[in-house]
Amino acid sequence: MSLTTEIVKALHSASGQAVSGEVLAEQLGVSRMAISKAVSKLNANGYQIDSRPRVGYALTALPQTINAEAVSALVDSKFWKHVAVFEQVGSTNDEARKALGEGVATPAVFVAREQTQGRGRLGRRWTSSLGGLYVSILVTDRVDIAQASSLSLVAGLCVAEVLGEQGIEAHVKWPNDVIVEGHKIAGILIEMTSDVDGVNSLVIGIGLNVNRPNSAESPNGANEQALDSHAKPAYISDRIGQIASESGLCASLLDSFQNKYSQWLAQGFAPFVEQFSDVQAQRGEEVTVSNPLGDVVANGIVRGVDESGKLLLETAPTEIVSISSGEVTLRRNV
Ligand code: BTN
Per-residue model confidence (pLDDT) at position 216: 46
The Cα 93–Cα 99 span in angstroms is 10
**Pocket perturbation via mutation, ligand 1, pick of 134, 179, 327 by most ligand atoms within 8 A of CB:** 134
Instruction: Using the atom order of ligand 1, give the atom closest to the CA of residue 187.
Output: 2
- CB 147, CB 163: distance < 8 Å: no
The Cα 296–Cα 290 span in angstroms is 4
* Degrees to nearest 5, angle at CA 250 with 247 and 252: 110
Q: pLDDT band at 215, cuts 50/70/90?
A: low
The Cα 128–Cα 208 span in angstroms is 9
Q: How many Å lie between the centroid of ligand 1 and the Cα of residue 40?
A: 36
Which residues is 288 bridged to in the sheet? 299, 329
Instruction: Return the SS3 of 310.
Output: coil
pLDDT at 226 over 70: no
Task: Say yes or no: CB of residue 71 within 6 Å of ligand 1.
Answer: no
Instruction: Return the SS3 of 217.
Output: coil
Instruction: Using the atom order of ligand 1, give the atom closest to the CA of residue 206.
Output: 8
Query: For residue 311, what are the CA distances in angstroms to 7, 155, 293, 332?
Result: 46, 16, 19, 19
- pTM value? 0.91
Task: Say yes or no: CB of residue 190 within 6 Å of ligand 1.
Answer: no
Q: What is the pLDDT of residues 15-45, one digit of tens each?
A: 889 999 999 999 999 999 999 999 999 999 9
Closest by Cα among 96, 88, 138 to 116? 88
Task: Say yes or no: CB of residue 149 within 6 Å of ligand 1.
Answer: no
Instruction: Return the SS3 of 227.
Output: coil
Share of the chain above pLDDT 70, in %: 94
The Cα 191–Cα 204 span in angstroms is 7
Q: What is the pLDDT of residues 131-190, one digit of tens each?
A: 999 999 999 999 988 899 999 999 999 999 999 999 999 999 999 899 999 999 999 999
